[in-house]
Amino acid sequence: IDVERILKESLTWVQYFKQQKKNIRSLTDDEILAVAMYSFNLPFEQPKDNLYYVLNEVLRKRDPLKMTPWKPYLYHLLNALA
């Protein structure tokens, strides 16, 4: 997974939405970024390299050791969706 590419592309969208003052309620920058990273579909050679594929696979396996690195990200994503 190319996290740097996902992050770079997502940050571009975060800045765009903040400038446009789209309906983002009072989300923090981290929450906006978490949603953008999860939902942004980059044209990778393999669609499975997009963040949502990787994260969903980890969550489906329900392995606590594999979930641990995702906890900070999930915190921001779930707060944004709440």
What pLDDT, on a 0 to 100 scale, did the predictor assign at position 17?
73
* CB proximity list for 24: less than 8 A, separation 6 or greater: 17, 18, 32
Q: Which tops the pLDDT comparison, 18 or 65?
A: 65
What is the DSSP secondary structure assignment for residue 71, as one 8-state letter?
Answer: H
CA distance 65 to 56: 15
pTM: 0.74
Q: What is the SS3 assignment for 57?
A: helix
Q: What is the pLDDT of residues 13-55, one digit of tens each?
A: 778 777 776 666 678 888 888 988 888 777 766 777 788 888 9
Q: Quick one: pLDDT at residue 18?
A: 74
Nearest residue to 59 (alpha-carbon basis) of 78, 31, 81, 40: 78
For residue 29, the model assigns a pLDDT of 83
